[in-house]
Structure 1
Amino acid sequence: MFPHARRTRLLAVAAIASTVALTAACSGGGESAETNEDGTPSGDLLVLTWRTDLLEDGTFDEYAERFNEEYPDVTVEFEGLTDYEGEVRTRMNTEDYGDVLGVVGTVTPDQFPDFFEPLGDVEELEQEYRFLRDKAFEGKAYGIPVVGNTQGIVYNTTVWEEAGVTEPPTTPAEFVDALKAIKANDPEVVPLYTNYKDGWPLTQWEGHRGEITANPNYVNEMAQSDAPWTEGTDHYVIDSLLWDVVNQGLTEKDPTTTNWEESKSLLANGKIGSMVLGSWAIQQMQQAAEDAGTGADTIGYLPFPHQVDGKFYAQVGGDYNLAINKNSDNKVAARAWIDWFNTESGYAEANGGLSPLKEGPTPETLKDFEALGVEYLELTPAPAGKESLFADIDSESEVGTNTPDYRQRIVDAARGASGETKDEIFEDLNSKWAAGRAAVGG
């Protein structure tokens, strides 16, 4: 079940733990971390997780057992949160947000030192890890990703083939035509499922920024623009496609009744044609197909329907980054868990994701992208001193690119529930963004 354990990282954990203990002793929250006389971790550890499925099926218990083979004096407990982003965001108003947690998207880089313990210098950690700079500030890393993801569209290969769609769409128009063909072939199938009610799945559309123009510096340039929703920009193309598929009746009839867990089996059973989700979802959908008896090969993965000079591009980056609560009383054990989880647990490989380790393998789940020659695109980090600029503009403008609200607004308008037009929404988003830039001096 698990790959051969890698021991090299753990040789350094004792030294790292000593450093963390010193940091913990002089931090603003909590007491000194608990250790044995030899400096090894001991005590209780609470780990918050968004993977409630792995908690329920016993996988995390198995992780804890294996961790205890290395650290027998640490008691690890897990708390699964269904609405992870929302619940953690609320709990961070207190000091009670676990010892180890995944960094939620609404925490801006300049806030990292207020909530999390620094894990080390980015340049030093990058000798082993990748995808670190998204959760870094002033040269310090505050989170280490558990897995790397790319972005795309999971789809039921049988549904698409039976509708006569055998080639990946290369433009938004071709994608809409493909969904129309699915609906024409079987009106009972939902061509594209938004998962509107759960909210967070709509944030997955944001993962395609940078791909449309094959521009790794897109986000930094967006922070210098007063009109990101102008024809030809990444956001215009992405959100126009969302508008079009909803407006043309190619999504679920009542988006307010969608159900994330149920959507997995619906896709597996051919009741749904496709969903816009990161590559982390592929294995979950394949497992659902296995459970349904349709087979893992029923699930395929498409790049966003847009090409630059005849080539598909897909953004790549870290998933949730594990961080240490600044107020934790047991930072030594917390750091030991993060190091062990990322190098020994086999989580990334078991979940079909890109390894956060530089030497990690490419997962079999991305064979479709490999066959299509998809080029991976990693966004350029913000320049020094401007790590929080984009997040500050996003927050001040109240657009919320990493929240579901504004795309729920697009869905509502496109289905005729609000009376707004696409142009009106885009003009309003541009106006808010420009005002946010002016307010923060962007």
Structure 2
Amino acid sequence: MKKKIVGALFSVLLISSLAACSSGGSSGGGAKDENADKGLDVLGDTIQFDPNKLVNEGEPIALEYWTWGDNDPAIKMAEAYEEIYPNVTIKPVIQPWDDFWTKLPLSLQGDNGPAVFNIHNSQHDLIMPYLEAYDIPVEDLQADFNSVDPHIIDGSVYYTDSVINTGNIYYNKALWEEAGLTEADIPVTWDQFRDVAKKLTIIEDGKLVQAGFNYNGETYNALYQGMNYQKGELLFTEDGQTANYDNPVTLENAQFFVDLYEKDQVGSKDFGDDSTMSFGNGQTAMVYKWGWMVAELENKYPEIDYGVFATPTPTEEVPFAYDRFNGESTPGINKNQSEEQRAVAQDFLRFLLANDEYSVTAGLSMASFPTKKSLADDSRILEDPVLSVIAPRVERLIWPGPFPSTVETSAKQAIEDILYNGKAIDTAVKEAQDRMDSDMSGSDFTSLESSYQFFDEAK
């Protein structure tokens, strides 16, 4: 067999002789593999994957891969892996999100749980007791990937970020044009943003019919974090275990949100309770959303012609951080499975991390920027309208860790108390701080903000 370069997406699928030997998903594993030399090139930079070997000594073996979405890029990668190793079957088991996090921990307690499974960092405490450390040196992971350091635990990595996501401003191109705006009017600072939002607002007979900017719903509790970071204010105090919400920066930013509605009148608390739906219905010109918005618009509002630009900053100077980010995690390996299954799982994981296509597919399908350093200038990434906006900011995005949900739910309650219940800003913010303190009193969470490379620039 001629040697082939595995450079295109799942190019191993094109090797017909191997495809003919594929197990086809048999629960007992595929056909015995006696061909160690696959005729394929080694993948990867520092982390490398050499496909020219036998896996499980060529004997048939079947693994399960549990996940909550059929668009999980690891599923296609599993198919590609099976094409190289006809004795291996990796069976996807797809379950709804809520069921997944109920069934997975129970399954992992015994020795018959899935060998490999999808991870979300919000469930870190739940699954950490069942994870096996990656059989890849930490320094190799650091050489090939950004965002590894926050995931190092006692010198090992159990999962890391394959891609990262953050917020941007989505705008309706038709409404933008109707307002006489062009790309030259895309705002860089928050003051410029306010001016643009006013131009995009339509009020008829004293009634708001088109919002220039709408933050109703989940927006404030996500956006306030980024705005605080922009001004050098951390989400947690020095001990890393206490929320830092009641502070002058939070008060200042909350006043900014209130003024957008009550002073500038670019939106209203009474203009529906769902800014995503309002944008999709063409009633709102600008919203702040994360990468999930792309799929939301494609699936529910395909007629909306939208653009994306970077979230404004207080000034045109580079801030402490542009925003918070969160990562989509690489798979976990079940430490309670058999030695044979764990060995194949570790090999499959190395295949994922060495192969650029895993990160590219994850990035494009989730509107999230790959952490793999070799993809920083990849044309497929930079041609994407969302990822091209994130690209210049990647180094200045901060991850505080999988913090308790009260940090967001209490902040959401604060803005609702201010807008709907008439509470003073300082009162609502203090009450939110008290709720966070109470809710976190029994938590063992410790912020990872100190792992941010520009941490010393914080206030």
Per the normalisation by structure 1, the TM-score is 0.66
Q: Partners in 2 of 1:222 and 1:374 — Cα distance?
A: 31
CA apart distance, 1:182 = 2.5
Which amino acid letter does the alignment assign opposite residue 433 of structure 2? Answer: N
Q: Partners in 2 of 1:226 and 1:150 — Cα distance?
A: 21
Aligned pair partner of 2:62 in 25, 33, 43: 43
Instruction: Please provide the CA RMSD for this pair.
Output: 4.7
CA apart distance, 1:79 = 1.5
CA apart distance, 1:118 = 1.8
SS of residue in 2 equivalent to 1:146: strand
CA apart distance, 1:204 = 4.1
Deviations 1:354-399 (A, max 9, x none): 22211113423576897899544446788xxxxxxx76xx64xxx7
* Counterpart check, 1:284 vs 2:284: no
Q: Sequence identity of aligned pairs in percent?
A: 13
Aligned pair partner of 1:131 in 140, 147, 160: 147
Larger radius of gyration: 2
Structure number with the bigger relative contact order (C-alpha 8 A, sep ≥ 6) is 1
Which amino acid letter does the alignment assign opposite residue 429 of structure 1? Answer: A
- What is the match of residue 95 of structure 1? 107
Aligned pair partner of 2:371 in 344, 351, 356: 356
CA apart distance, 1:335 = 3.6
Q: Partners in 2 of 1:127 and 1:413 — Cα distance?
A: 47
- What is the match of residue 412 of structure 2? 408
* Counterpart check, 1:158 vs 2:168: no
Q: Is contact 1:145–1:322 with CA below 8 Å preserved after alignment?
A: yes
Q: Is contact 2:241–2:445 with CA below 8 Å preserved after alignment?
A: no
Q: Is contact 1:163–1:182 with CA below 8 Å preserved after alignment?
A: yes
* Counterpart check, 1:79 vs 2:94: yes
Aligned pairs for 1:287-306 (under 5 A) are: 287=298, 291-292=302-303, 298-306=306-314
Q: 1:89 to 1:368 in 2, by over 3 A?
A: closer
- What is the match of residue 331 of structure 2? 323
Q: Partners in 1 of 2:191 and 2:261 — Cα distance?
A: 14
Q: Is contact 1:147–1:355 with CA below 8 Å preserved after alignment?
A: yes
Q: Is contact 2:133–2:157 with CA below 8 Å preserved after alignment?
A: yes
Where do 5+ consecutive residues of structure 2 fail to align? 1-6, 12-40, 447-459
Q: Partners in 2 of 1:8 and 1:316 — Cα distance?
A: 32
Q: Is contact 1:194–1:252 with CA below 8 Å preserved after alignment?
A: no
Structure 1 runs of 4+ off > 6 angstroms? Answer: 366-373, 437-442
CA apart distance, 1:291 = 4.2
SS of residue in 1 equivalent to 2:322: strand
Q: Partners in 2 of 1:88 and 1:366 — Cα distance?
A: 31
- What is the match of residue 158 of structure 2? 142
* Counterpart check, 1:183 vs 2:194: no
- What is the match of residue 428 of structure 1? 431
Q: 1:311 to 1:228 in 2, by over 3 A?
A: closer
- What is the match of residue 387 of structure 1? none
SS of residue in 2 equivalent to 1:253: coil
Q: Is contact 2:193–2:312 with CA below 8 Å preserved after alignment?
A: no
Q: 1:12 to 1:281 in 2, by over 3 A?
A: same
How many residue pairs get matched? 383
SS of residue in 1 equivalent to 2:144: coil
Q: Is contact 1:156–1:299 with CA below 8 Å preserved after alignment?
A: yes
Q: Partners in 2 of 1:68 and 1:252 — Cα distance?
A: 54
Q: 1:174 to 1:322 in 2, by over 3 A?
A: same
Q: 1:326 to 1:438 in 2, by over 3 A?
A: closer
Per the normalisation by structure 2, the TM-score is 0.64
